[in-house]
Amino acid sequence: MKPLFAEAKIELLVKESRSLADLKETMKRMKEGAGEILIIDSISHVWENFLEAFKQKVHRNSLQFQDWGIIKPSWKTEFSDPFVNDPYHIIMCGRAGYEYENEINPDTQRREIYKSGVKMKVEGETAYEPDILVLMEQFEEVIGKDKKIWNEATIIKDRSTLTHGKTFKMPTYKDFAPAIEVMLENPLPRDVVMTPEQNAGILFRTEEEKGEWRRERDKWIEEIDGLLIRIAPGAVGKDKQLKLDLLDKIFGTTSETAIREFMPDQLKEGYKQLIEEAVARNLAEYVERPDGSKGFKVAMKQNGANEEDKKVTKK
């Protein structure tokens, strides 16, 4: 494709890789402004590499039924969700393959497999994520010594509905233009530097890694709970309201269930912001550790209510 882009005076950056880890990094850079249009050719190669990476991760030569409970959500999180939500344009090619079904032959009474349709060789839902889905087919016609070959594009899906269901013989841009032009945007390009190919196996979480993730999450939730208790030890009244105010300000919610759904890094950052907010409200102060280093250890001050209690006690 390089000559086509050079002729049109459009800068083309190329990354030769079949790794989803690389594609994920590329999509991240696109989101940050590295380019305006991302072309993936072919997503089938990335999907196949993703499956192989999983098999290597679990040290098996084949997939088992329960594996799909990890593979499909991982693919959705790492590719499908950014594909749908990222603010730039994507043209994605994929290889076509047949769909198969089976039924009982009424004559032989034996179960037979037959071709029931065509699908993209990728995770089952991926082909239906784009705004426009096109099936490209090649046809041949032989009449005597004459042989004709042509391509046809059938619009399987068009979110704008302007070309949905139509078929174009030897299509050009003008055939797709009505649908494309209503969805055009203008993101700003920036320079980008590509990195060496990464291993897609790093995208999977084993059960051990999931356990570590949960332990890290629980650790920061306990740290947050402990900090709130030191700031406002009471379970009712002003102390309870203070805790709720702090949680809502930092996390945007007072629900314990919702907070437990935050990532460990988000909880860690929330813990830091809680300390800063406590210091800003004069409920805490920063102190140095015995070794002279600075950290997040705080020396709690008495809040107004406790000071009043002391005065009453003295009287």
Q: How many CB atoms lie within 10 A of CB 135?
A: 16
Do 39 and 124 lie in a common domain? yes
116 φ, ψ (degrees, to nearest 5): -110, -10
Q: For 63-80, write each residue's pLDDT tens digit.
A: 888 888 889 999 999 999
Report CA Rg, the chain: 29
What is the domain count for the chain? 2
Do 197 and 219 lie in a common domain? no
Do 109 and 193 lie in a common domain? yes
Rounded distance between C-alpha atoms, residue 245 and residue 254, angstroms: 8
In a domain, 271, yes or no: yes
Do 47 and 191 lie in a common domain? yes
In a domain, 172, yes or no: no
Find the range with the poorest average confidence among 145-154, 244-253, 295-304: 295-304
Q: What is the mean pLDDT of residues 75-95?
A: 90
Note the pLDDT of residue 152.
95
Do 199 and 292 lie in a common domain? no
Type of residue at 184: L
The whole-angstrom distance between residue 176's C-alpha and the CA centroid of its chain comes to 28
Do 127 and 224 lie in a common domain? no
Do 189 and 40 lie in a common domain? yes
Of the three residues 203, 238, 254, the one that is the final residue of a domain is: 203
| pLDDT tops 50 at residue 315 | no
Q: What is the mean pLDDT of residues 255-266?
A: 83
Judge whether 26 and 18 are in contact, CB under 8 Å.
Answer: no
Q: What is the mean pLDDT of residues 149-156?
A: 93
Do 189 and 246 lie in a common domain? no
Residue 154 belongs to what H/E stretch? strand 146-158
Q: For 196-247, write each residue's pLDDT tens digit.
A: 566 676 666 666 677 787 888 889 999 898 888 888 887 778 888 888 888 8
Note the pLDDT of residue 47.
94
In a domain, 146, yes or no: no
Note the pLDDT of residue 93.
93
Give the pair of three-digit tokens for residue 39: 């072309």
Give me the domain span that covers residue 279.
207-314
Q: For 171-208, write each residue's pLDDT tens digit.
A: 999 999 888 887 775 444 444 444 556 667 666 666 66
Do 217 and 267 lie in a common domain? yes
